[in-house]
Amino acid sequence: MARILTGLVLVIACGSSALADALPQDIARYIDRREGCNHWAGEEGYDAARRAEINRNIAALKCTRLDRDEQRLLHRYRHHPAIRDRIHAAHDALL
């Protein structure tokens, strides 16, 4: 399981390097968190160990605070439509 988690972190980190160059760091971090939260929310907790792994990752990503953090970023970047579009796109990616 640790290898899977490590692989997921590496994939997210590598995919984020291009975003980090084009977006403010807080937005790139938000998008990474949103992707991670969407991923873990869709995982099946088929046994106690898997449920614990899912819960650990959701806690580490602070998924319960994600919507509040999103609203804060939307307010902060209210005069930057391109950045707001990226926030909305990340939010809607798996809905």
Domain ranges of the chain: 2-92
Task: State the average pLDDT over residues 47-61.
Answer: 97
pLDDT, tens digit, 9 for 90 and up, residues 5-34: 444 444 454 555 454 458 999 999 999 999
pLDDT, tens digit, 9 for 90 and up, residues 31-46: 999 999 999 999 999 9
The amino acid present at 47, given as its one-letter code, is D
**Other residues' Cβ atoms within 10 Å of the Cβ of residue 73:** 19
Ranges of H-type helices in 1-95: 2-22, 25-41, 48-60, 66-76, 81-92
pTM over 0.75: no
Task: State the average pLDDT over residues 78-83.
Answer: 97
